[in-house]
């Protein structure tokens, strides 16, 4: 797996999105349904990312 500037940028954007969502939730700008949907999506993305990382590590071995 090659780390590219695009993959680093995607990780930074994802982190910024999560920080922004947390701040909005603290301010009461998100409903519980919004928070639940965000967390579900983050979980799905994390699962996909883990699968890619595991495959890359297996290939490198």
Q: Does the pLDDT of residue 16 top 90, yes or no? A: yes
Distance spanning both ends of the chain, measured CA to CA: 12
| Per-residue model confidence (pLDDT) at position 6 | 85
Residue range 13-18: mean pLDDT, rounded = 92
pTM of the model: 0.68
Asked if 12 and 3 count as a contact pair (C-beta separation under 8 A), the reply is: no
| Per-residue model confidence (pLDDT) at position 61 | 81
């Amino acid at each position: 797996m090659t780390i590219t500037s695009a993959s680093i940028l995607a990780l930074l954007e994802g982190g910024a999105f999560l920080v922004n969502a947390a701040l909005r939730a603290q301010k009461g700008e998100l409903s519980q349904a919004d928070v639940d949907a965000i967390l579900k999506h983050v979980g799905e993305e994390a699962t996909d990312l883990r699968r890619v990382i595991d495959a890359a590590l297996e290939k490198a071995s």
